[in-house]
Amino acid sequence: MRERTVRAARTGHGFTLIELVVVVAIIGVISAITVPQYFKIVEKGRIAEAINVVRSAGSSQDRYYAKYGTYCTGAIASCGGFDMIMPTLKYFNTPAAFVTGATTPSWKVNLTRNSTVAIYGNYVVTYDVETTAAPALTCSQSNCSAELLPR
């Protein structure tokens, strides 16, 4: 048994220090490229929660407008006849109210990320419906708007 170990040491089997350093450097470069992309993909999945809620709220607001001739603004619970119960959100703070927009009739809702995200920080997703423009889905961080929101 000891002879085999001595023979293996003499024949030069194994890796040199340079080879190991090169492998570690390659792994470091690959991880530096892939880790931010991973976080971006994960956050895209989480922002989908906010997008689904604002789209559902938009449909409910349209029905409310058709029935009452105005949008529900203010506390959601105080809008009698509003047919959406705001769900408890996992990654965003659940909004309690709709805000009046810049024109009449209009409305907007803000969803704030409930934890700090490494790449994007704390950001707010805003869905704004104005009579003079198409509904706008925006984000408070520029890189969030460019990378996470649907185009």
- State pLDDT tens for residues 43-97: 999 999 999 999 999 999 999 999 999 999 999 989 989 999 999 999 999 998 9
What confidence score (pLDDT) does residue 4 get? 62
What confidence score (pLDDT) does residue 132 get? 87
What confidence score (pLDDT) does residue 12 get? 66
- Read off the pTM: 0.77
Higher pLDDT, 78 or 9: 78
What confidence score (pLDDT) does residue 121 get? 86
Higher pLDDT, 76 or 117: 76
Q: Where are the domains of the chain?
A: 16-147
What does each C-alpha distance from 6 to 17, 35, 63 come to in angstroms?
20, 43, 83
Written as one string, the DSSP assignment of 13-81 is: -S--HHHHHHHHHHHHHHHHHHHHHHHHHHHHHHHHHHHHHHHHHHHHHHHHHHHHSS---EEGGG-TT
What confidence score (pLDDT) does residue 55 get? 92
Mean pLDDT of 27-31: 94
What confidence score (pLDDT) does residue 120 get? 86
pLDDT beyond 60 at 9 = no
Lowest mean pLDDT among 9-23, 117-131, 135-149: 9-23
